[in-house]
Amino acid sequence: MIDWLRARRVPVTVAAVFVLFNGVGFRNLLGIPLYAVFAVAVAAATVIALSGTGVRPPRMPGLLGAFLLVALASILWSQTRDMTAATLLLTGSLTGLALLIYRAFSDEAILAVFHRALQASVLVGLAFEVLVTAIGHPISALNPTTGLAELVPSANLSLWSEDRLLQGGPIQGFVGNRNGFGAIALLALVLACCLALERTISRADALLTLVPAIVALTLTRSATISVAAACLVILGAGAALMRRVSDAHKRLVSWSFIAFCLALGILVIRFWGVVLAGLDRSTDLTNRGVIWTEVAKYALMRPEGWGWVSAYWPTWRWPYGGITIQDHVTVPHAHNAFIEAWMELGIIGAALMIGLCAWLASSAWRLTEKQHRGDSVIPVAWMLTTAALIIQSLTESRLYYEGWWVLFVILAASVPSAFRLIDEPATPTRRDRAETRAAPVR
């Protein structure tokens, strides 16, 4: 069995990443107890498949390590120590798995693995919505006792799918959340474009991702994902421009592009209401302003934080059960990764997470500055993937979810190798590597 798993380390890792990104869907399908057993089995299979192999030593970035140490220390003052202990076990396991994947594959192979898993996630999400349409009613999570779907006559926030495919959306996909499904589709689209340009995957393979991803992005009708997509288009254009200018002009073009982005950001803030009206959203970003205000009230009560519970708040416990918005709706998380860190790990935790993301963002842009025409597109994919995670962190706490945290840790660990790919003196062009590359990841 061990040899069989090791011989299939790529598909096993793809399956593990797929499960990580679709954890909510599997919990809705299996129920939490059975899902826990399933997740442990998948994780164990992945560890066995990747053990004994490696192309580089594992690396824990200093800022990330400091953040995890603060999370570990928070159990000493946590308001919910049992939940913090359980969350630390989960976060530690995910971090270890991320470093194991980083150790076992090259940067290019890692992105190919994530592309395959996200491609499957988009296809399964759309197939799920087609199935719900065939059922003809919105559905909630399967009952873990009877295994039967509870069909309900009307939609509500707790539904797995609201059966809105034929209405043009918004659809929620297998993950049961339109923002989450849209984020998966956006990331899949980015990786498909970059890996197709790198010639790691075929055009047909890329189209198998691009077309469903565009359909999913359109039907989720997520304003936050639309804004993130617009930002990635601008950054992608900036990366393409930097690859075409000479070294003598790179610094000038770089600062000009940064100034352009800042000016554009100021204009967006100035005309925020107009922008959101065009996206059919309120200026409060669907109550996010209210949520942040409420969370801040509790964060200010304890500068050290309330204890690490990630983005899965135990809303049946105080203080999390007291954080509510209109009509006394309980808030499940802070809808902002940095405010989340502030709430749970205090000022130090928030500062470390801001510093970590700032370091990643600056590293991503410095990579872009070093690019030349014909160079590998993998650093661009790394930059855009990093940007996608950080941009979404401003309106969601998704960064701390299973698959997203694993990807975030891998990106942080990959900073040195990404720079080495650029700094190597005789880096082959994409066309050169395409002629000698082995078969793409399947």
Global pTM value: 0.88
Tokens of residue 60, six digits: 């824990």
Compare 159 and 80 and report the one with higher pLDDT: 80
Least confidently predicted of 86-95, 120-129, 360-369: 360-369
For residue 305, what pLDDT is reported? Answer: 92
Q: How sure is the predictor about 183, in pLDDT bands with cuts at 50, 70 and 90?
A: very high
The string of pLDDT tens digits covering residues 386-408 is: 999 999 998 888 899 999 999 99
Average pLDDT, the chain: 84
Q: How sure is the predictor about 148, in pLDDT bands with cuts at 50, 70 and 90?
A: very low
Residue 13 pLDDT greater than 90, yes or no: yes
The DSSP result for 128-145, as a single string, is HHHHHHHHTS-B-PPPTT
Residue 409 pLDDT greater than 60, yes or no: yes
For residue 426, what pLDDT is reported? Answer: 39
Residue 424 pLDDT greater than 90, yes or no: no
The string of pLDDT tens digits covering residues 32-47 is: 888 889 999 999 999 9
Q: Residue 329 burial (CB < 10 Å; 0-12/13-18/19+)?
A: exposed
The DSSP result for 367-380, as a single string, is HHHT--TTS-SHHH
For residues 374 and 429, is the Cβ–Cβ distance under 8 A?
yes
Q: How sure is the predictor about 429, in pLDDT bands with cuts at 50, 70 and 90?
A: very low
Least confidently predicted of 84-88, 299-303, 427-431: 427-431
User: What's at 382, amino acid-wise?
Assistant: W
CA atoms within 13 A on the CB side of 169: 20
Q: How sure is the predictor about 99, in pLDDT bands with cuts at 50, 70 and 90?
A: very high
The alpha-carbon radius of gyration of the chain (Å, integer) is: 22
For residue 158, what pLDDT is reported? Answer: 62
Q: How sure is the predictor about 311, in pLDDT bands with cuts at 50, 70 and 90?
A: confident
Residue 109 pLDDT greater than 80, yes or no: yes
Domain ranges of the chain: 65-78+223-442
Compare 119 and 331 and report the one with higher pLDDT: 119
Highest average pLDDT, of 154-163, 220-229, 270-279, comes from 220-229
The string of pLDDT tens digits covering residues 216-273 is: 999 998 888 888 899 999 999 999 998 888 888 888 888 898 898 889 888 877 776 6
For residue 258, what pLDDT is reported? Answer: 87
For residue 405, what pLDDT is reported? Answer: 95
Per the document, the length of the chain is 442
Name 131's Cβ contacts closer than 8 Å, sequence gap at least 6.
Answer: none
Q: How sure is the predictor about 124, in pLDDT bands with cuts at 50, 70 and 90?
A: very high
